[in-house]
Amino acid sequence: EVLLVQSGGGLVQPGGSLRLSCSASGFTFSTYPMHWVRQAPGKGLEYVSGISRNGGSTYYADSVKARFTISRDNSKNTLYLQMSGLRIEDAAVYYCVKTLAGYSYDAFDYWGQGALVTVSS
């Protein structure tokens, strides 16, 4: 069974930093590009960032470029999102997602449970 278990959400002040983690199991993690998608309260889905199988290529939405860093540790089957310079508008539930067929640009067939990030002073 594919599982994506997230951790690391919480309350942070504007300008602060936070790291999200996503522990994967039930599939060969190192063979799948992974991504992050977020959803602000009561709003729609927004693409955030993605990473290739070996971490050599990364992708970012313009809204988070230069502030967020995606990475992965294939030896630990874990995906990360380091967020810095957080803004009020970054407040959202962040989802870790697995690609369907192993392509960098792909549909997302499994979603983590979500991690709530609150940005407030």
Does 25 bind another protein (CB under 8 A)? Our answer is no
- Interface with another protein (CB under 8 A), residue from 44, 66, 75, 121: 44
Does 109 bind another protein (CB under 8 A)? Our answer is yes
| Residue 15: CB minimum distance to another protein, A | 25
For another protein, the closer CB: 9 or 14: 9
Q: Binding segment for another protein among 22-30, 55-63, 72-80, 83-91 (CB under 8 A)?
A: 55-63
Site for another protein in 58-77 (CB under 8 A): 59-62
Does 112 bind another protein (CB under 8 A)? Our answer is yes
For every residue of the chain, which 3-state class applies, written as one string? CCEEEEECCEEECCCCCEEEEEEEECCCHHHCCEEEEEECCCCCEEEEEEECCCCCCEEECCCCCCCEEEEEECCCCEEEEEECCCCHHHCEEEEEEEECCCCCCCCEEEECCCEEEEECC
For another protein, the closer CB: 37 or 91: 37
Nearest to 55 by CA among 83, 26, 75: 75
- Interface with another protein (CB under 8 A), residue from 1, 66, 105, 120: 105
